[in-house]
Amino acid sequence: MTSENHSFRELSQMATNLIPSEIIRLGNEINKLIKEGHEIFNMTIGDFDPSEFPIPTKLRNAIINSYNLGHTNYPPAHGMLELRQSISEYILKFQNLEYSTEQILVSGGSRPLIYAAYKTIVDPGEKVIYPIPSWNNNHYCHLSEACPIEISTLPEQFFMPSVVEIQPQLKNAVMVALCSPQNPTGTMFSKDSLYSICKAILLENEQRKGTRKPIYILYDQIYSQLCYDSNIHVDPVTLFPELSDYVIFIDGMSKSFAATGVRVGWAFGPESVLNKMRAILSHIGAWAPKAEQVATAEFLKDIPEVENYLKKFKGEVHERLIGLFDGLKKLADDGFPVDVIKPQGAIYLTVKFPWKNYRKPNGDIFTSQSQITEFLLKECHWAIVPFKAFGDDGESEWYRISVGTIRKNKIGEMLEFLKLGMKKLVK
């Protein structure tokens, strides 16, 4: 059923105009090639292969045990108290922030919480600032009928937004959506950079006091346990405790514990905001399953177990990121048309294939990003996601590589296939 044949719309304007997911489109193409017998290195999804990255054993056993104990009825709307207690202790231990159980909201993964934060803060037509590239803010703006203010970021700034671009837009906005370590770039805020942004927001809120809705910060730190080398996770409330009334943190089990299918996420922030988010989500019914909540509460309480898991898990993710980074850097040093940014956090690597002045073996010049994506897929066996999927204009030659499904012993072969493909390009 399409609406094009009619002068009226058969579905809501919002649903009719939903932007299809670029990653799903690419996924369909990849599956087709795999079915035809091609070997494809699929680095498109921000997920983990459970045979490479299993969830913590203690968590898995606790989930099974919870079902055996019959934890199969509705959990409380804002999450089980034991879990919120464990999360409160976890936040204190790893971020040195004090949040009570009443300031924490649990949900079925962190996505519903992001949606609920948008719906709680932003009225239709109000403005939300976020960087490009970034993960799904364009979709959340669409769902909540918010007006996006997209901030373009630069490779020289590791694709992180800075106060220079954000500050001039603050007057118009009600929310700034930030993420660190960032999906899709695998880069993160330095303390100085986040400090300047937060200071500007604080000043704007002081001017607004009592006259207008303040600016809120949606701070997505779902990758905060995955920081590498000397990169340290920073957050707005540690830098400015007086911002705590305006910051909604997003976090959860999905990425830090390879538990994307377990579906336990949490938000923490001002109680008044969290209460409204809870009310919205209770109508949607986006609770995390009760057995998973009981198990997560048990697991997160066991700090030595959490630390042991993180140490090994982080090491494994970083090894893959660095293996690919070193290999790509060597190709660049050897004169191949590729550029790469050193990974700082998360499970992603940012890479550029600046091929627009190159010719394919048939003599055709690359004229668009989609042709580069296709050549990578068909000639190099590389499936990766163009920044277009993260809100970029569609012609950027930058891509996201996700390492959650990569086998370490395949990295050499993957780089070899890429090199063979690039050898076919003619300047």
CA atoms within 13 A on the CB side of 281: 31
- What is the torsional sign of CA 216, 217, 218, 222? negative
Residues 147/125, Cβ–Cβ less than 8 Å = yes
Residue corresponding to tokens 């956090």: 345
Among 137, 180, 254, 256, binds ligand PLP (CB under 6 A): 254
Q: Which is nearer to ligand PLP, 403 or 425 (CB)?
A: 403
Please report which helix (H) or strand (E) contains residue 132, including its range: strand 127-132
Among 110, 162, 293, 296, binds ligand PLP (CB under 6 A): 110
Separation between Cα atoms, residue 67 and residue 69, nearest integer Å: 5
**Site size for ligand PLP (CB under 6 A):** 13
- Cβ at position 71, least distance to ligand PLP in Å: 20
Among 56, 75, 79, 109, binds ligand PLP (CB under 6 A): 109
List binders of ligand PLP among 299-328 (CB under 6 A). Answer: none
- Cβ at position 224, least distance to ligand PLP in Å: 10
Among 26, 40, 46, 350, binds ligand PLP (CB under 6 A): 46
Separation between Cα atoms, residue 150 and residue 156, nearest integer Å: 18
Q: Which is nearer to ligand PLP, 197 or 250 (CB)?
A: 250
Q: Phi and psi at residue 215, in whole multiples of 5°? A: -90, 130
Q: Which is nearer to ligand PLP, 130 or 325 (CB)?
A: 130
CA atoms within 13 A on the CB side of 14: 10
- Is 44 among the residues that bind ligand PLP (CB under 6 A)? no
- Cβ at position 149, least distance to ligand PLP in Å: 19
139, 231, 143: which is closest to 185 by C-alpha? Answer: 231
Contact segment (CB under 6 A) with ligand PLP among 105-113, 143-151, 204-212, 411-419 equals: 105-113
- Cβ at position 403, least distance to ligand PLP in Å: 14
Q: Which is nearer to ligand PLP, 252 or 323 (CB)?
A: 252
Q: Which is nearer to ligand PLP, 139 or 410 (CB)?
A: 139
How large is the angle between the packed helices 303-333 and 411-423, nearest 10 degrees?
Answer: 30
3-state helix, strand, coil in the chain (%, to 5): 45, 15, 40
Q: Which is nearer to ligand PLP, 135 or 417 (CB)?
A: 135
- Is 400 among the residues that bind ligand PLP (CB under 6 A)? no
Dig out the tokens for 123 from the structure: 């009225």
Dig out the tokens for 49 from the structure: 């292969």
Q: Which is nearer to ligand PLP, 265 or 421 (CB)?
A: 265
- Is 181 among the residues that bind ligand PLP (CB under 6 A)? no
Q: Which is nearer to ligand PLP, 177 or 414 (CB)?
A: 177
Q: Which is nearer to ligand PLP, 114 or 163 (CB)?
A: 114
- Is 190 among the residues that bind ligand PLP (CB under 6 A)? no
Rg, C-alpha atoms of the chain: 22
Q: Which is nearer to ligand PLP, 257 or 382 (CB)?
A: 257
Separation between Cα atoms, residue 397 and residue 388, nearest integer Å: 9
Contact segment (CB under 6 A) with ligand PLP among 68-76, 108-116, 187-195, 235-243 equals: 108-116
3-class SS string, 365-388: ECCCHHHHHHHHHHHCCEECEEHH
Separation between Cα atoms, residue 111 and residue 18, nearest integer Å: 17
Separation between Cα atoms, residue 198 and residue 5, nearest integer Å: 49
Q: Phi and psi at residue 47, in whole multiples of 5°? A: -135, 180
Please report which helix (H) or strand (E) contains residue 267, including its range: strand 265-268
- Is 235 among the residues that bind ligand PLP (CB under 6 A)? no
Residues paired with residue 386 on neighbouring β-strands, in sequence order: 399
The 3-state DSSP class for residue 249 equals strand
Q: Which is nearer to ligand PLP, 348 or 375 (CB)?
A: 348
List binders of ligand PLP among 151-180 (CB under 6 A). Answer: 179
Separation between Cα atoms, residue 17 and residue 130, nearest integer Å: 21
**What string marks each residue from 213 to 232 as x (binds ligand PLP by CB under 6 A) or -?**
-------x-x----------
Among 135, 189, 228, 387, binds ligand PLP (CB under 6 A): 135
Among 71, 78, 84, 111, binds ligand PLP (CB under 6 A): 111
Enumerate binding residues for ligand PLP (CB under 6 A): 46, 109-111, 135, 179, 183, 220, 222, 252, 254, 260, 265
